Amino acid sequence: MTEPIELIEDFSIPSAIHSGEAVHVCIRKDLSVRPGYRLNGPYLVDLHVGPTNRLARHYAGMSRLDANRVALHYLLEHVDGIAACI
């Protein structure tokens, strides 16, 4: 039996920092998760650069706000290179 997962965001943007590669963002919601003392929410975030999952990061158990913040920070860092200054 597969876990019910809803796709929230899934897109790629060309990177100005990593020439010729794209930054990929995928935010999903695990519909079977019940938030508890260890989890803030049901959202999963997968982030990577390039086709070989270079510089990959994966997060689980996040609220929607935290998932959006993590994705935005990763995009700013790897698309425009400005998150390091924040």
Give 44-83 pLDDT, tens digit per residue.
999 999 888 878 999 999 999 999 999 999 998 888 877 5
- pTM for the model stands at 0.85
Separation between Cα atoms, residue 78 and residue 74, nearest integer Å? 6
Q: Identify the H or E element spanning 46.
A: strand 43-49
| SS3 state of residue 28 | strand
